[in-house]
Amino acid sequence: MAIKVKPVADVAKKWADVTPGRSAYYEANASVAGADWESGATAAVPAYKAAVTASNIGQMFAGGIKKAGAAKYNRKVKDVGAARFGQGVTAAVPDYQAGVEPYLAAIAALTQPARAPRGSASNIARVTQIATELNKKRLALRAAGA
């Protein structure tokens, strides 16, 4: 015997009517779930590695992009992203500051030779020095979880 389910339009309407009213529940519970998220995500490292090294990961990734499609991306930017953009930037200031600080400190610690005339290979060496230091900093921060 087939399982009887409600029409998808009815399910979606109920979800749209009820879910926005659950924001206080979301805030109260999600805002204190960081420790559970961290321990669960850390415990999932082997599963993550297996997933991203699976032989079909490229096809799965491309399939997910194709399924969502450009139209959904554009619609969500217009309907959700634009309205939340400023609020998101404001909320991210402390995180941005903490994230960029080690890189700015790495640049500030460098001593570079004087600029040479335009087109000089020594100018590219200046850029290479910065790029090398920033990559070393990125790898150090990622590897240690700092």
Each residue of 11-62: pLDDT tens digit? 999 999 999 999 999 999 999 999 999 999 999 999 999 999 999 999 999 9
In a domain, 52, yes or no: yes
**Which residues does 60 contact at the CB level (< 8 Å), separation at least 6?**
54
In a domain, 105, yes or no: no
In a domain, 56, yes or no: yes
In a domain, 23, yes or no: no
In a domain, 77, yes or no: yes
User: What radius of gyration, in Å, describes the C-alpha atoms of the chain?
Assistant: 24
Amino acid identity, position 128: T
In a domain, 16, yes or no: no
Dihedral (CA of 68, 81, 11, 25) sign: positive
Query: Mean pLDDT over all residues of the chain?
Result: 94
Range of the domain at 47: 28-92
**For 54-83, what is each residue's pLDDT tens digit?**
999 999 999 999 999 999 999 999 999 999
What is the total count of domains within the chain? 1
pLDDT of residue 120: 95
Q: Are 60 and 54 in contact (CB under 8 A)?
A: yes
- Give residue 143's pLDDT band: very low, low, confident or very high (50, 70, 90): confident
